[in-house]
Amino acid sequence: MKIHLIGICGTGMGSLAGLLKAAGHDVRGSDSDVYPPMSTQLAEQGIEVMGGYHPSNLDWQPDVVVVGNIATKDQVEVLGAQERKLKLTSFPALLEELFLKSSHSLVVAGTHGKTTTSSLASFVLTSAGREPSFLVGGVPQNFGRSWQLGKPGGLFVVEGDEYDTAFFDKGSKFFHYQPKTAILTSVELDHVDIFDSLDAVKAAFRKFVELIPESGLLVVAADSPHAVEIARAARCRVESYEIRSDHGGSADWIAQRPGGRTLFEVSHKGTRYGIFDSGMPGGYNLANALAVIAACADLGLSVEEIQRGIRRFGGVKRRQETRGVAQGVTVVDDFAHHPTAVRETLRALRGRYGNGRLIAVFEPRSATSRRAVFQEEYADAFSSADEIIIGPVSHPEKAPANDRFDPERLAADLRGRGVAARHLSSVDKIVEQIAEGAAAGDTVVVMSSGGFGGIHDKLLSHLGDAVVPADSDDLPGLKELLDETGLSYPDITDHLHEILVLRDPEKHIVGSVAMEMYDEAGVLRTLATSQSRRGEGLGWMLADAALGRARRRGARRVYLITESASDFFAEKFGFQTVQRELVDAAVLESTQFRNSKGTTMVLDLGAK
């Protein structure tokens, strides 16, 4: 089928384009904002993107034109399609028609946690060999993209958004998703640009729940009163889940958490089910994991299969994502923009990266956060941070003047509670403010539903000597550094997503390290620093960052091979020599172990 997507560079539309291309369709599209990373991803998949919107973009006579949320009834390509009598459809309707009608659809819905929960479910099912398809609203770190085409007619995990579908279909997107199994994480007022009340939100979720057939399953959060209320409308089986600190509770699925890297015990209807290990911080992420456990158990996965997937899940980009560490200051990116998400994110991050201060930076950008509906609730949500900086409201003209969020008022309300807070009018001023006061051990979490003017990279650059994930632009510099230091990494392109780099002010790569993951084990390799920066402790910084990544990815041990630095790794980190016959089989098959000679060492992360 020939398919044209209007607004193809949007997160959801770009993901749909990749899924359609993988399924064998001829896919093209148009957008007014054609820039990386989406433009690069589409080009790599051989998907043509036409810059700007013009009726002539439809001259190739597609069979169907997919209308994104950015398009109104007067949009030029919409009018062009109608003149040519081309079929118009929406993202959700096409997904339903081509994929979901013939699949077992696992839909994750709710005000909060949809992206993380659907990403986790996708990875658990994939790691268990179930070959699911998925389409989610973020980029799971384990996959590096937001979609996957799995086994035809099999499981399909989809993030169920309650937002409206298109200008010609004002129903919620998830009405199209044919749920057989569903997770309902929470129900609160959100998307106030399309829902005028909580009752309107509840009505949409109630209609979604009623779509689940009698043979299906709804997994619902017991601590969300509105979700529990809505679940009563279901025709199918309903199982509830909750997090407890004691042995009480009446939910079907219960998890108890002792803290730390989250080890938690799960019980089902009063019977011990298993002990799980997750690198995701915070009670609400533990609840997300518990929902996935319940759904996957019903889909036939064993306890061991679910345990392995939960442990190895690496999180989602823009959901408590570590963007880099500079001068001991960790910069975290998070999508939180609803007061509940803000509060839970701050709770989860407290002490996770160090015992210093927790500094929150907030951009009111979403349709809900730029309005005054949660003005007072934000003061409660942010009060657990040590310092809060509120940026300018993004596109304030999109909110009525008499219903617009007031950042100065939020700062004043927080100061009234004894919390250091201020409103700053530009990204540059925010960066200067943080850089002047931040110290080693501090965590800076940037909360925005958009790019926030590139604040993450600007802050890391201002702090200096930032250890950050490598990207494709770093490949030439990485190869130069490895040549300089005499290290070999023949499959570097395949492992680029596992490499951390350190760039100097001129963007030259002066340090690198890789942490390759093989089930329960990590392999530390390519620890290199430029000759010009030797003696500054960069090697320790890079290795420490790589080990932190391994812990968050669920590694239980880390291996390396070294010809001359065994004393360094033993003294600084506690590595010990180990015989090769005791190394994990998957690690022995890696290129590092097949092609390298030297001393083999291991670090037991479980002992730390």
Per residue in 323-360, pLDDT tens?
A: 999 988 999 999 888 898 899 899 888 877 778 999 99
Asked whether 86 and 64 are in contact (CB, 8 A), the reply is yes
Q: Is 484 helix (H, G, I), strand (E, B) or coil?
A: helix
Asked whether 221 and 249 are in contact (CB, 8 A), the reply is no
In this predicted structure, the answer to whether residue 42 has a pLDDT above a threshold of 60 is: yes
Q: Is the preceding peptide bond at 225 cis, omega within 30 degrees of 0? A: no
d(CA 127, CA 104): 18
Q: CATH assignment of 469-607?
A: 3.40.630.30
Task: Tell me where in the chain the CATH 3.40.630.30 domain(s) lie.
Answer: 469-607
Task: Choose between 591 and 177: higher pLDDT.
Answer: 177
Could you tell me the fold of the domain covering 321-464?
Protein-Tyrosine Phosphatase; Chain A (3.90.190)
Asked whether 186 and 111 are in contact (CB, 8 A), the reply is yes
Amino acid at 447: M
Task: Choose between 392 and 606: higher pLDDT.
Answer: 392
Could you tell me the fold of the domain covering 2-93?
Rossmann fold (3.40.50)
Give the count of beta carbons closer than 10 Å to the beta carbon of residue 300: 9
Asked whether 89 and 65 are in contact (CB, 8 A), the reply is yes
pLDDT at 59: 96
Residue 22 neighbours by CB under 8 Å, 6+ apart: 147, 149
pLDDT (tens digit, 9 = 90+) per residue, 354-396?
789 999 999 999 888 888 888 999 999 999 999 999 999 988 8
pLDDT (tens digit, 9 = 90+) per residue, 233-258?
999 999 999 988 665 666 888 776 54
Bridge partner list, 524? 515
Give the count of beta carbons closer than 10 Å to the beta carbon of residue 391: 24
Tracing tokens 């250091």 back to the chain, one arrives at 420
Confidence of residue 306 (pLDDT cuts 50, 70, 90): very high
Task: Tell me where in the chain the CATH 3.40.50.720 domain(s) lie.
Answer: 2-93
Average pLDDT, the chain: 91
Asked whether 75 and 81 are in contact (CB, 8 A), the reply is no
Asked whether 242 and 249 are in contact (CB, 8 A), the reply is yes
Q: Which CATH number fits domain 99-312: 1.10.3720.10, 3.40.50.300, 3.40.50.1820, 3.40.1190.10?
A: 3.40.1190.10
Asked whether 227 and 186 are in contact (CB, 8 A), the reply is yes
pLDDT at 256: 66
Least confident of 92-96, 407-411, 465-469, 504-508: 504-508
Strand pairing report for 87-90 and 217-221: unpaired
pLDDT at 260: 44
In the chain, the N- to C-terminal Cα span, in Å, equals: 55
- Tokens (6 digits) for 216: 């299906």
pLDDT at 262: 66
Task: Tell me where in the chain the CATH 3.40.1190.10 domain(s) lie.
Answer: 99-312
